[in-house]
Amino acid sequence: EPEVTQTPSHQVTQMGQEVILRCVPISNHLYFYWYRQILGQKVEFLVSFYNNEISEKSEIFDDQFSVERPDGSNFTLKIRSTKLEDSAMYFCASSVLVGETQYFGPGTRLLVL
C-alpha cells in the first residue's frame, strides 16, 4: 500500500540554524500539506501546496518557513532560522484531490537546542 514517507525521522539542531525536512508524498496525489505537533498538544495545520504554489497557510507559517517541490517526488519544509519553540513533530500529508482524505507520514521529530 502506498504511503507518505519522511526523512529524517529525528533532527537535532542549534537555535538559529536552518533545517530542511523532506517528504515523499503518495505518487498520484496532487495536494501536499505540512502539520506540526508540539509535544502533548494538538496537531496544527501549517500549509497546503498545490500546483507548485501555496494554497493556504496558517499564522504559524511565517517568513521563517518555506515549502518547495524541488522535483517530481519530494516536498520539503525549510525553517530558515530555527527557534526553540520550533521543536515539534512535523508531519507531511498528501491527498489525491482537495477535500479528499489526507494521508500522513510518520513524522520528523525536530529538536532545537
Partner 1 sequence: GESVGLHLPTLSVQEGDNSIINCAYSNSASDYFIWYKQESGKGPQFIIDIRSNMDKRQGQRVTVLLNKTVKHLSLQIAATQPGDSAVYFCAESSKSNFGNEKLTFGTGTRLTIIP
Q: Which is nearer to partner 1, 48 or 82 (CB)?
A: 48
What does the block give as the cell for 12? 537535532
107: nearest Cα among 43, 26, 41, 19: 43
50 binds partner 1 per the rule CB under 8 A: yes
- Closest CB to partner 1 among 64 and 104? 104
- Is residue 28 a contact residue for partner 1 (CB under 8 A)? no
C-alpha cell at position 97: 484531490
Q: Is 69 in contact with 75 (CB distance < 8 Å)?
A: yes
Residue 74 CB contacts under 8 Å (≥ 6 apart), including other chains: 22, 23, 24
Does 42 bind partner 1 (CB under 8 A)? Our answer is yes
Instruction: Rule CB under 8 A: say whether 13 interacts with partner 1.
Output: no
If the CB atoms of residues 19 and 105 are measured against partner 1, the closer one turns out to be: 105
User: How many residues touch partner 1 (CB under 8 A)?
Assistant: 26
